[in-house]
Amino acid sequence: MRLGASRLKAWGDAKHPNVRGVLWCLVGGFVLTLMFAAVKHVLADLPPFVVGLFRTFFALLLLLPWLASVGIEGIKTKRPFDHFLRTVTGIGSFVCLVFSLQTLILSDSIVLSFSYPLWSIVIAALFMGERVRIRRTIATVVGFVGVMLIVKPQGGLEPGAAFAMASAVLTTLALFNVKRLTSTEPPQRIVFYFFFIGTLLLLPPAIWTWQTPTLEQFGWLAASGVCGVIGQSCLTRAYRAGDMTVIQPMDFMRMPMAAGMGFLLFGEVPDALAALGTLVVMAASAYIVYRASRLRARTAPPPADLAVE
């Protein structure tokens, strides 16, 4: 009893690493949800590729002080192709999510894009020969039931839902690529190449569909870029402060945050089946992430979290 009481008291201390990690994670999730709300707002008047370009470009500008401090030596790499592959999957994930925001409500887009733990199990089992135990298999099946409750594909798959699920699949591939890069590349270099290469990739389609933003729209686009960098910085601090088994499932709080923002900012109300599906996807995905994190924690310390969005 004394041991349990001491642990409870420690968790009540704001200086406890896991408490600080959870707080950083919640702040980061809130800021990143704000980013997507800003993106959804400007999508009413601007083409998706233009929105994506400015979001990535403004985020890149925020990295200039870091670039000035490290110089050319700080960005030298022997793995340019791996950075390119990571960026293609990461930017692809973001662009697909942007397209989904055009037709789906904010919460449904976020929930479907956050189904990536379900897709990671499928990809690992089918293409990487990974053994998936019965509990994670059941959680994956339950999670896809939740996805179907949101999508409701009776008359075919809605384009917005297809884009959101494509975002989840590309997020899974991006995470695999990030994991490979962290074996030799420092986090800031990976983030820099993501935004730098991403800006170059988005430039041609943005020019093709170009529409000059108004001053107000520039403000929203700049805000989305700032929120993206701040949010990912908060998540990185969260994973450095606390245990991944505690922190990573907390990132799924972005789903109810998105529902709340969608209601307050856009008057969006999910239907009953979508709300039920959201709860199912949250529970299944959080369980899969929790189990995977515990298995990783037994073998090696996890790498710092890095943005894929």
Q: What is the pLDDT of residues 198-247, one digit of tens each?
A: 999 999 999 999 999 999 999 999 998 888 888 877 877 887 777 766 77
Per-residue confidence (pLDDT) for residue 81, from 0 to 100:
92
Q: What is the pLDDT of residue 299?
A: 54
3-state secondary structure of 16: coil
Collect the ranges in the chain with pLDDT lower than 70. Answer: 1-16, 127-130, 132, 153-157, 244-245, 248, 292-309
pLDDT reported for residue 293:
66
- Looking at residue 254, what is its pLDDT? 84
> What's the confidence (pLDDT) of residue 95?
92
Q: What is the reported pLDDT for 11? A: 44
Structural domain spans, the chain: 19-70+78-299
pLDDT per residue as tens digits for the range 80-121: 899 999 999 989 999 999 999 988 888 888 888 878 777 777
pLDDT for the residue numbered 5: 47
Could you tell me which residues come within 8 angstroms of residue 259 by beta carbon, excluding any fewer than 6 positions away? 106, 107, 270, 275, 278
For residues 51 and 39, the answer to whether their CB atoms sit within 8 Å is yes
- The pLDDT value recorded for residue 156 is 58
Give the pLDDT of residue 155: 55
pLDDT in the model for residue 288: 78
- What pLDDT, on a 0 to 100 scale, did the predictor assign at position 303? 47
Q: What is the DSSP string of 222-259?
A: HHHHHHHHHHHHHHHHHHHHS-HHHHHHHGGGHHHHHH
Residue 129 pLDDT: 65
